[in-house]
Structure 1
Amino acid sequence: MNDQVLTTLKNRRSIYQLGKNVSQKPADIVKLAEDIIMDSPTAFNGQTVRAVFLFGASHDKLWDMTGARLKSEVPTEEAYQRTLDKINGFKAAFGTILFFRDQDIVTQEENDFILYRDNFHDWAEQGQGGAQQAIWAAFAQNNIGANLQHYNPLIDDLVAKEFDIPSNWVLRAQMPFGSIEGQAGEKEYLAREDRFKTFG
């Protein structure tokens, strides 16, 4: 069996030590990610995935806002400092992709296909995961590290205001990416017999 895809997926890891030493131009990174989203599957071809690409001052602003917003959520100053250290690690990256779900499309699908209406939210989330993993794997192929964060919904309003996000776009994840300045930790796997069944 050709296992090129598997090899790529194994190289796709959560990299938390990120830097700005990326050889690719922002425009080329954006084009790659946009093309992947365009060709990633979504239920009923709903094309519900939206993305915003942040570089430079806009990237820094996102993580500064996030750090400030989290202060009221952390119980002690010591814990907040640890939180800021983590946030500053994301800020050290080259850029960030913000992933959104277009809720207007999901709602329209729910109205148009009554028989399946209870599924469209979940199917839209599956579309998110597919696009995110594909971009993450493509970054790994290009020696760009990344990780995936979920500070939504705490930062939703701040992000919407700062980056002029349409009201029907729902923030789902943040992907900081950049040069790989440290390797991922060892990955543990659950036993195959606990995860899979085969019949036939």
Structure 2
Amino acid sequence: MSKDFLTALKERRTYYGISKEPVVSDERIQELAGEAVLHTPSSFNSQSARVVVLLGEQHNKVWDITTEVLRGIVPAESFEPTRKKMDSFRAGYGTVLFFEDQKVVSSLQQNFAAYAENFPIWSNQSSAMLQLAVWTLLEQEGFGASLQHYNPIIDAKVQAEWSLPADWKLIAQMPFGKPTAAPGEKAFQPLEERLKVFK
């Protein structure tokens, strides 16, 4: 990786224009996802994160599933924009699905009852860190990605299609591919309104 962490963090953006053109090998994608899963922190070192990387036809399939689920929800007369959005995700090279293992979370709630209500929150926070890590690593390799949330409406079909454990709760979907268009402009609120330092 040629970029330092701060540069990568600054350059990580939401890309909606992506293609199926290869950027790095599938083995490299798997390596990046694996390193992120291993080294992203989790509360009590619970390691509750679960990740599924979909490539090729498997990637296409998740957006076909999502399209069909949405077709049953979105009125037919206004479905075209939804279809175009699904097609834009399907146009990418792959999708990363992020899950949290609820069996792990429940076990922590039972074993550390004083913190029981916090474990689902901490689980989501850990997942968010993992999403950022994967997103940034993909960006460093030359991919563009975006973060989507079609859960829970696709959860059952995703679990059935890939025979995933029922305890795996789908948190987010990240389609990625070679960028075909620049990301939109990003506005920043004044930093002095968002950051305070006391000495």
Instruction: Provide TM-score, normalisation by structure 2.
Output: 0.95
RMSD of aligned residue pairs (Cα, Å) = 1.2
| Paired AA for residue 70 in structure 2 | L
Unaligned ranges ≥5, structure 2: none
Indicate whether 1:144 and 2:162 are aligned.
no
Alignment deviations for residues 84-111 of structure 1 (CA, whole Å, 9 cap, x no partner): 0000000000010111000000000011
Report the identity percentage: 40
> Unpaired segments of 5 or more residues in structure 1?
none
- 1:72 deviates by 2.4
Contact 1:22–1:144 (CA<8 Å) still a contact in 2?
Answer: no
Contact 2:8–2:136 under 8 Å retained in 1: yes
Match of 2:167 in 1: 168
Deviation at 1:193, TM superposition (A): 2.6
| In structure 2, C-alpha distance between the alignment counterparts of 1:7 and 1:23, rounded to whole Å | 20
Q: Secondary structure at the match of 1:176?
A: strand
Alpha-carbon contact 1:106-1:120 (below 8 Å) kept: yes
Find the counterpart in structure 2 of residue 84 from structure 1.
Answer: 83
- For 2:155 and 2:23, locate their aligned partners in 1 and report how far apart those are by CA, in whole Å: 31
Tell me if structure 2 keeps the 8 A contact 1:71–1:80: yes
1:12 aligns with 2:21: no
Q: Which residue of 2 aligns with 1:198?
A: 197
Q: State the alpha-carbon separation in 1 of the partners of residues 100 and 130 from structure 2.
A: 12
Query: 8 Å contact 1:50–1:101 — kept in the other structure?
Result: yes
Tell me what 1:75 maps to. 75
Q: Distance in 2 between matches of 1:107 and 1:39?
A: 22
Offset of residue 4 of structure 1:
3.2
Post-superposition offset of 1:146: 0.6
Q: Distance in 1 between matches of 2:195 and 2:118?
A: 24
- Residue-pair matches, total: 197
When structure 1 is superposed on structure 2, of 19-28 and 81-90 the one drifting more is 19-28
TM-score normalised according to structure 1 size: 0.95
How far apart are residue 76 of structure 1 and its match?
4.3
1:106 is matched with 105
Contact 2:23 2:141 in 1 (8 A): no
The separation in 2 between residues aligned to 1:146 and 1:5, in whole angstroms, is 17
Q: Which amino acid aligns with 2:62?
A: L
Report Cα offsets for 1:31-57 as digits up to 9, x if no partner: 111111111100100001101111111
